[in-house]
Structure 1
Amino acid sequence: DYLASYMLYFSVFIGGVGMIFGGASYEVKLPAFKGFVTASGDWLWPLLFITVACGAISGFHSLVASGTTSKQLKRETDAVPVGYGAMLLEGVVGVIALGTIMMSGEMLQGGPTVVYGNGLGQFASLLGISPRVGTALGLLALNSFILTSLDTATRLARYQLQEFTGMSLNKYLATAISVGVALALIFVKTGKVAAWQMIWPVFGATNQLVAAIALLAMGVWVIRSLKKSAGFIMYPMAFMLITTIVALVQMIAANLNNYIVSGISTVLLVLTVLLLKEAYAALKAAKAE
């Protein structure tokens, strides 16, 4: 992560230069979207809010913050600039990624990774760097970023497996199980489609559900422990829960023939209902106290 951060900062610098000064040199090929319903008939709400987007509220990031980031801070007050600054920086990365798509106008062969690399290659030319070299640097930065995310995800899975089993699994066995499940998602296929590709649409909803859980936990803690109003936490939490529930219902309705997607979505919907029940009980106890 330490070495990859330098590559990421370098790509953000190139992308920032391109986004600010590239308007006179490059043509925007992707037309602006001005509606509320897409060409495929999907509404922006709730799907826009369950898209895995840089800078957005994220359950994955809340897990990283609790299990990893908290152990790397020198003092508690550093959490504010580190957490908020990281969110802003990742938001910048998201904007740069949108800029690379605007320049291509379409999804190139090779997918989003190639689009991002080509865009950074063109941005790099503004600094006198060969577009070919700039593309290579952009691809290297993005792939190292993805690799560090996978590393973090594996560590988080190990944490959760150990906690879920009451620490009966040692770190080696828990890690082996986490990696084994990931390999199964890659190699197990239905027809020509890998399992991970089938469940990927559910990931956004899962991510936002975990984010709502994180907000709920903080809100209940503020109310019960600090004895203060937590509206600034509970209102966003309510919005995320309602959005996630509607998205899950839509996914179930649209994937009745896909038992993997509809099954996982149903389980998540049940967990959401149980979450609401537990939250109500906790807040009721806080009011009684």
Structure 2
Amino acid sequence: MNSVFLVLIAFFGYILAYQTYGKWIAKKLMGLNDKNPVPSKEFYDGVDYVPTKKHILLGHHFTTIAGTGPIVGPAIGVIWGWVPAFLWVLLGPIFMGAVHDFMALAISARNKGSTLGELTRGVISNRVGIIFLLLIQFLLWIVIAIFGLIMGILFNMYPASVFPVWMEIPIAIWLGYMVYKKNKNDTIYSIIAVFLMYVTIFIGLYFPIKVPALGGSPIITWIIILYIYVFFASTLPVHRLLQPRDYINSHELLIAMALLLLGVFIGHPKVVAPAFHHVSDAPSIFPALFITIACGAISGFHSLAASGTTVKQLEKETDALPVGFGGMLLEGALATLIIVAVTAGIGMNGGGTAAFTQHYASWATASGLAAKLKAVIDGSANLMNSFGVPLELARSIMAVFIVSFAGTTLDSATRIQRFGLQELLRTKNGKVIKPFNNRYIATFIVILLAFGLCMVSPGGKGALILWPVFGALNQLLAGLALLVATVYLAKKRKPIWVTAIPMIIMLIVTLTASYQNLGKFISQHNWLLVFVSSITLFIAIWMIIEGIIAMFKYSREIEIEETIE
């Protein structure tokens, strides 16, 4: 199979889906209307609630939901062969992920910008909402801890990426100042900002930066530095740093994707990976593939981003289609290019099938962070090298791209957890319990808890203790988010099949994975993970039962009303 055909099939499919299925859902199912009020204008505060142009908001939303997910997930998922990975990345975003993200954003926009957990209180029940908010806090706790670790590892692995990633901060602040204070053209000045960003990449090649080891590891040093930065970044007004930085990152994404696309069409490498691949120590393709490739197809974290930071910046209701639905399809496009990089690009420059086999000979080698990133960066560099980009420069471009996205997720996840924590601690009169109503105190507690999790193991790797439950938990969240959307549609007397079908699929996948994990943890006598998995399964089953009860309740009310009429 030639990689050109894979890219054309996927990209054409995404465009067709957006123009047909996406627009039908937006117009006919949800009836988006710009006359409806949006939270960014209703509750404008200049900090979290700020109306934002859709192309800038799309940049923020995409870089938030992406992180390293659509890069690392597909890079592991191809271990079962390129065919199942490609099909999941092609069909998953269209019929599941984009629907999931869009519905979370649109429903939140119509409910005062409430997060997914808070929405559950109104849609299903108050008690389920509280439990769900706790589950979300647990998930975000792991996310913030693991992304601090990932960025520390990446900085340590690729010291040439350190200078450009940190220089992006003053560049982004300058861009925000010029656009919001000086009312300059955002397109022109964002291009200037991206140019400056790429200048720093060249500089970084000649000035790699390493830090001294604290606690016996440079990774701990980076974790401390990153959490100090995140405290300030996640409490600043969104238009000062978060928006402009993510806008730069979105341009960086487009450039990286353009470079990879150019490499595909000029180098047109053949796929060297097998269509279907069996590795003896790898878990079964079902449900593991659908857990491993999350962000490139569907991910529960996306619903938290959509109903967390993104909805509070939505300028008008119809922007939910390009931002929510379109953002997920764009992520699918990135995941497709990553699949091409690790199944075709990796075989260029004389590597052949042996280059793929070297990375995917066993599950143990393929699942390590270093192995995943090396396969992606080497494959991507080979694609760029096909039209003359030096390999070392190409590797640096990809490394900066990956680290920048990880940083966005770390910042946004901290902000989202702060919102969720404050909603959890809101009293009946609508006020947040003191001192958690203060964003600085709430953010400090969020970061302190994440840092504590990191430090329970040597080298700042404490988050890895809970990492085995993250994949299933994240995808379970996606299923439960679709459950909330399904109950919402039932309440509004709308067709529920759009969200109900992907909901059922995701719940089957994740409940199966959670059950398998529980059995594995019991056999390993890992009682902490046994406890976490048991609680997660209990919450999921409880929510499903209450959701079904709520749907029957709304259906019954409709029948009674129709009988009266």
Normalized against structure 1, the TM-score is what? 0.89
Instruction: Determine the structure 2 residue equivalent to 1:7.
Output: 252
Structure 1 residue 164 and structure 2 residue 420: aligned? no
- Find the aligned partners of 2:460 and 2:406 in 1 and give their Cα distance: 22
* Matches for 1:33-52 after TM superposition, within 5 Å: 33-34=275-276, 38-40=279-281, 42-52=283-293
Q: 1:110 aligns to what SS in structure 2?
A: helix
Structure 1 residue runs of 5 or longer lacking an equivalent are: none
Summarize the Cα distance change of 1:186–1:111 in structure 2 as closer, same or farther, 3 Å threshold: farther
Deviation at 1:138, TM superposition (A): 0.8
- Is 1:232 the counterpart of 2:507? The answer is no
Q: What percent identity do the matched residue pairs reach?
A: 34
C-alpha distance after superposition, 1:17-49 (max 9, x if no partner)? 22333334xx755x31526x6422622111111
Q: Distance in 2 between matches of 1:176 and 1:19?
A: 45
Report Cα offsets for 1:131-152 as digits up to 9, x if no partner.
1111111100110011101111
Counterpart among 387, 411, 415 of residue 151 in structure 1 = 411
Give the superposition deviation at 1:55.
2.7
Do residues 80 (structure 1) and 321 (structure 2) align? yes
Closer, same or farther: CA 172–119 of 1 in aligned 2, 3 Å: same
* Cα distance change on mapping 1:236 and 1:3 into 2, 3 Å: same
1:242 aligns with 2:508: yes
Q: 1 CA distance for matches of 2:412 and 2:254? A: 19
Q: Secondary structure at the match of 2:268?
A: helix
2:485 matches 1:218: yes
CA offsets 1:96-126 (integer angstroms, 9 cap, x no match): 2223322142159933233322222222222
Partner of residue 342 from structure 2, selected from 81, 101, 107? 101
Whether 2:464 is the aligned partner of 1:197: answer: yes
| Runs of 4 or more consecutive aligned structure 1 residues displaced over 4 Å after TM superposition | none
1:284 aligns with 2:552: yes
Distance 2:321 2:291 in 1: 25
1:137 partner letter: I
CA contact (8 A) 1:252 1:265 kept: yes
Distance 1:193 1:73, change over 3 A: closer
2:303 pairs, out of 49, 57, 62, with 62
Distance 1:43 1:132, change over 3 A: same
**Structure 1 residues 196 and 73, CA gap change in structure 2 (3 angstroms):** same
2:382 counterpart of 1:114: no
Greater Cα offset, 133-142 or 278-287: 278-287
Find the aligned partners of 1:82 and 1:55 in 2 and give their Cα distance. Answer: 16
- Deviation (angstroms), 1:83: 1.9
Verify the 8 A CA contact 1:113 1:142 in the aligned structure 2: no
AA partner of residue 530 (structure 2): S
Contact 2:454–2:460 under 8 Å retained in 1 = no
Displacement of 1:271 in angstroms is 0.7
Q: Which residue of 2 aligns with 1:182?
A: 450
Q: Residue type of the partner of 1:260?
A: L
Q: 1:34 and 1:193, CA in 2 relative to 1: closer, same or farther beyond 3 A?
A: farther
- Give the whole-Å Cα distance in 1 for the aligned partners of 2:342 and 2:372: 8
How far residue 274 of structure 1 moved from its aligned partner, in angstroms, is 1.0
What's the CA shift string for 1:203-222, capped at 9, x where partnerless? 11111111112111111111
The question of whether the paired residues in 2 share the 8 Å contact of 1:114 and 1:139 is answered with no
1:32 and 2:300 aligned:
no
Aligned CA-pair RMSD: 2.2
Contact in 1 for aligned 2:263/2:387 (Cα 8 Å):
no
Q: Report which structure shows greater RCO (CA 8 Å, sep ≥6).
A: 2
Q: How far apart are the structure 2 equivalents of 1:174 and 1:241?
A: 32
Which residue number corresponds to residue 82 of structure 2? none
Q: Distance in 2 between matches of 1:20 and 1:234?
A: 39
Map of 1:18 onto structure 2: 263
Q: Flag the 1:185–1:109 CA change in 2: closer, same or farther, 3 A.
A: closer
CA distance in 2, matches of 1:193, 1:81: 38
Structure-2 residue corresponding to 1:206: 473
Helix, strand or coil at the partner of 1:228: coil
Q: Is the 8 Å Cα contact of residues 287 and 509 (structure 2) preserved in structure 1?
A: yes
Larger radius of gyration: 2
Report the CA distance between 1:127 and its aligned residue: 3.0
Among 500, 515, 532, the residue aligned to 1:264 = 532
Query: Does the 8 A contact of 1:202 with 1:265 survive in 2?
Result: yes
Measured after TM superposition, the shift of residue 52 of structure 1 is 4.3
Contact kept, 8 Å, 1:38 with 1:44, in 2: the verdict is no
8 Å Cα contact 2:295/2:331 also seen in 1: yes
Asked if 1 retains the 8 angstrom alpha-carbon contact of 2:294 and 2:475, the reply is no
Unmatched 5+ stretches in structure 2: 1-245, 347-354, 360-365, 427-431, 558-565
8 Å CA contact 1:11–1:120 kept in 2: the answer is no
Aligned equivalents of 1:90, 1:20: Cα separation in 2: 20
Q: How far apart are 1:161 and its partner, in Å? A: 0.8
* Letter of the structure 1 residue corresponding to residue 288 of structure 2: L
Report the equivalent of 2:542: 274
> CA contact under 8 A between 1:209 and 1:241: conserved in structure 2?
yes
Shift of 1:253: 0.6
Normalised to the residue count of structure 2, the TM-score between the two structures is 0.47
